[in-house]
Amino acid sequence: MLHEIRNTVEPDVFPPQYAAPRYHLQPPGTHPTVEDDSLLPPLRVIYARQQTHDAHGPLTTILHVPSSFLLGFHLLFTMSDNTTWLITGTNRGIGLEFVKQVLQSPSNIVIAACRNPAAADALQALAASYPDRLHITTIDIGDPESIKASVEPVKRLLEEKGLDYLVNNAAITEGNDRAFSLSLDGLMRSFRINVAGPALVSQTYLPYLEKGRRKVIMNFTSGIASIGLDYGAKNASYSISKTALNMLTYKQATERPDVIAFVVDPGWVKTDMGGEGAMIEAEESVSHLLKLITGATQESSGKFFRYTGEVLPCCQPSTTVLTMSSKRTWLITGANRGIGLELVSQLTASPDNTVLAACRDPTTASALQTLQASLSTPSRLHIIQLGTTDPASISAAAVHATTILHAQDSPDHKGLDYLINNAGV
């Protein structure tokens, strides 16, 4: 037995989009008749037509059912079949195309996030076409306060439902910079937006993913973030930050095996960020990406995919063998303790090594000073000041190191052979 719900008397209470006959309810138990109306509260009424069949053909009975009851039951019935998405960076490019294609399924509810919704004309136009299924919210992934502030409006939109899919698409690029000439500000900006942003968005919305049916995080990376694919020196800041994003995703997957988290390279797509030379249309890339994310399983978690579904290598083992020969010079940062100090200790055991041990405050590096005093040739160990977070300190250390190297006994060897960036927090 099926009920066709018709909005015959109260369009203001039961909107027309909910009154289409495609919404069919199968009531449990007995077949209700017109007398059943007495069991319901005397609220405003719409009509539901009950169709049954007997040996003489179809019969129709008019039921009087309170509209508020039917609307609530309808929403409960239909919302349970919806799939919820939160997608960042949706004002243009891949993010905008992703929203378009996700909306092609009537069961999808999309929360589209971007930094400035008021200026996102294409996204606003799309929202006008899908007023019930596309909701635009503000998230600047480079701003922790913006991410935190996005929770309340998203919570209201989701009501008691969870989040099925989180797509961390938003990113920036510093262009084709190189490792030895990149801007420190640009590199830090890339880390803030391309790594810390997705990390904080994922943290913030984890409670909603936990309530979702799918619990999938897809982080957008790039093929040039793979050491194994060997794309060379180009796009240093972008590549470095996306490699860090790959590791973040692996850590997410291993910490929470109940969540499916993976990274995907969307390909070189014809977007503003893709720039000149891009070969793939956004429509093609996204169509593959949708198949990948909706088909993701626990086996997908922690992996690095191409948009076509191929698993990509993250890195490759080095085949380089470090060989030692006479008269080598070393510069080691973070040398005042731990691994750095042990490196200095073992290297200075060989009379062929000259070591420049760098640390933030040489005056408090008592272990280094003791080691230097114990050497038969103290000039093989030089302690220099170098704060790795201070560009001025780094520049001053370079001048100091140059002076030391040029003062070496060997006229043929006044350069630096090994630089070990050990300092970290």
Residue corresponding to tokens 């294409």: 122
Interacting residues of 233 by C-beta distance below 8 A, sequence separation 6+ = 178, 179
CATH domain 83-306 topology: Rossmann fold (3.40.50)
Specify whether the CB–CB gap between 135 and 110 falls below 8 A. Answer: yes
Specify whether the CB–CB gap between 319 and 325 falls below 8 A. Answer: no
Specify whether the CB–CB gap between 4 and 28 falls below 8 A. Answer: no
pLDDT of residue 413: 59
Mean pLDDT by 10 residues, the chain (425 residues): 35 35 38 36 36 43 42 42 95 97 97 97 97 97 98 94 97 96 97 98 98 97 91 94 97 97 94 80 96 97 95 62 63 94 88 92 93 87 94 93 80 79 92
DSSP conformation letters of 108-177: EEEEEEES-GGG-HHHHHHHHH-TTTEEEEE--TT-HHHHHHTHHHHHHHHTT----EEEE-------S-
Domain boundaries, the chain: 83-306, 328-420
Q: How far apart are CA 268 and CA 280, in angstroms?
A: 6
83-306 and 328-420 in the same fold:
yes
pLDDT of residue 410: 57
Interacting residues of 47 by C-beta distance below 8 A, sequence separation 6+ = 6, 8, 9, 62, 63, 64, 65
Domain 328-420 CATH superfamily: NAD(P)-binding Rossmann-like Domain (3.40.50.720)
Residue corresponding to tokens 């590791």: 247
pTM of the predicted structure, to 2 decimals: 0.64
Segments in 271-365 forming alpha helices (H): 282-294, 338-347
| C-alpha closest to that of 208 among 79, 85, 46 | 85
Specify whether the CB–CB gap between 70 and 46 falls below 8 A. Answer: yes
Q: How far apart are CA 356 and CA 348, in angstroms?
A: 10
Interacting residues of 359 by C-beta distance below 8 A, sequence separation 6+ = 333, 334, 335, 336, 340, 365, 368, 383, 385, 386, 423
Residue type, 210: E
CA angle 130, 134, 136 (to 5 degrees): 130
Q: In the 3-class helix/strand/coil scheme, how is 4-31 assigned residue by residue?
A: EEECCCCCCCCCHHHCCCCCEECCCCCC
| C-alpha closest to that of 248 among 203, 306, 300 | 203
